[in-house]
């Protein structure tokens, strides 16, 4: 199967994870793609293909003759998509030989080069995008497609010498639980790479510390005509709390090793309000300070 066709097949699976769920994986629909990938690995002739009780799918490309003692290399990708937007009924649009212009997603949404100047880097390339009503799911079904296409190529070209290669596909990465039950010993790689980057040729060798935080505010709702010195408006309290977070430490003002507080959710009434944050920092000390 061609890489593009494989990717388009994978994005047809709805694999959205859920922060509200206490199960693992957080949604059963992720298992549909994980089991599909396991079946695909078996069909390609990979060995030791397993899907464990947590949904992790693994397989082995055996070492070429004479390369059995080479270090074992692993490649990993996650199947889930972000809870922030639907990944159901994805309608991919394919642009062959992109001309560098604005991309109309649908009748009301356009991806403009003015807003996304990096689009200019892909003139002449094939671009795949959604119709703007759902996520595409390239994060990280692109990684899944890359790994499986490489596996298919190696299995059909035995003249390419290589050591043992392990493949791993995981759930729930988008909600920060992707490695909670990942069996490192069973995976058995000496070195491993996660295929979940952004730019062609990019190699990331460091990672940030991350946590989520939820602040709940209990207010006191009183009829506004009799509210003086009695009402506590949870919405106002939550807004005042959020205003105390340093503005310069938001994602839109940070880069490189700079940590941030990212407000990702706000809901409430006079009686109750809730704010959700993502907290990140490369420095463990600053990370702990941010959590406090």
Average pLDDT over residues 215-241: 97
> Is residue 173 annotated as a catalytic residue, yes or no?
yes
And the tokens for 48?
């030791």
The alpha-carbon radius of gyration of the chain (Å, integer) is 23
- Domains of the chain, with CATH numbers? 3-92+130-194 (3.40.630.10), 209-291 (3.30.70.360)
**Distance from C-alpha of 171 to C-alpha of 193, rounded to nearest angstrom:** 16
Considering the candidates 80, 174, 196, 281, report the single residue annotated as catalytic: 80
Relative orientation angle of helices 29-44 and 138-156, to the nearest 10 degrees:
10
Considering the candidates 173, 174, 196, 281, report the single residue annotated as catalytic: 173
On the CB side of 225, CA atoms within 13 Å amount to 0
* Parallel/antiparallel/unpaired status of strands 93-95 and 127-129: antiparallel
**Distance from C-alpha of 119 to C-alpha of 99, rounded to nearest angstrom:** 10
Determine the pLDDT at residue 207. Answer: 86
> Is residue 80 annotated as a catalytic residue, yes or no?
yes
The H helix count followed by the E strand count for the chain is 6, 12
Please tell me whether residue 152 adopts helix, strand or coil conformation: helix
3-state SS string for 82-140: CCCCCCCCCCCEEECCCCCCCEECCCCCEECCCCCHHHHHHCCCCEEECCCCCCCCHHH
Nearest to 130 by CA among 97, 86, 98: 86
Could you give phi then psi for residue 75, rounded to 5 degrees?
-130, 130
Determine the pLDDT at residue 275. Answer: 97
Number of Cβ atoms within 10 Å of the Cβ of 249: 17
Per-residue pLDDT tens over the stretch 53-82: 999 999 999 999 999 999 999 999 999 999
For residue 201, pLDDT over 90 is answered with: no
The enclosing H or E element of 233 equals none
Per-residue pLDDT tens over the stretch 123-141: 999 999 999 999 999 999 9
Please tell me whether residue 145 adopts helix, strand or coil conformation: helix
Average pLDDT over residues 197-224: 91
Determine the pLDDT at residue 150. Answer: 98
Determine the pLDDT at residue 199. Answer: 82
The overall average pLDDT reported for the chain is 96
For residue 154, pLDDT over 90 is answered with: yes
For residue 33, pLDDT over 90 is answered with: yes
**Distance from C-alpha of 38 to C-alpha of 79, rounded to nearest angstrom:** 12
């Amino acid at each position: 199967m061609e890489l593009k066709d494989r990717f388009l097949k994978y994005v047809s699976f709805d694999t959205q994870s859920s922060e509200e769920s206490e199960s693992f994986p957080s949604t059963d629909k992720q298992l549909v793609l994980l089991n599909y990938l396991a079946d695909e690995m078996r069909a390609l002739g990979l060995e030791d293909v397993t899907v464990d009780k947590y949904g992790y799918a693994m397989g082995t490309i055996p070492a070429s003759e004479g390369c059995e003692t080479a270090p074992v290399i692993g490649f990993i990708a996650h199947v889930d998509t972000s809870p922030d937007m639907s990944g159901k009924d994805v309608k991919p649009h394919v642009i062959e030989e992109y001309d560098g212009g604005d991309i109309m997603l649908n009748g009301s949404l356009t991806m403009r080069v003015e807003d996304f100047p990096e689009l200019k880097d892909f003139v002449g390339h094939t671009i795949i995008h959604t119709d703007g009503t759902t996520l595409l799911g390239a994060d990280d079904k692109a990684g899944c497609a890359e790994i499986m296409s490489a596996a298919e190529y190696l299995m059909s070209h035995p003249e390419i010498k290589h050591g043992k290669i392990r493949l791993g596909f995981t759930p729930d990465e988008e909600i920060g639980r992707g490695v909670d039950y990942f069996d490192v010993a069973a995976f058995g790689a000496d070195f491993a790479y996660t295929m979940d980057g952004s730019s062609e040729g990019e190699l990331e060798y460091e990672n940030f510390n991350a946590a989520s935080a939820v602040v709940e505010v209990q207010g006191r709702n009183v009829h506004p005509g009799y509210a003086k010195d009695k009402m506590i408006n949870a919405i106002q309290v939550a807004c005042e709390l959020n205003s105390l977070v340093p503005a310069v430490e938001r994602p839109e003002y940070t880069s490189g090793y700079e940590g941030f507080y990212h407000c990702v959710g706000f809901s409430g009434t006079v009686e109750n309000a809730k704010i959700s944050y993502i907290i990140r920092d490369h420095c463990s000390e600053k990370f702990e300070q941010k959590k406090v």
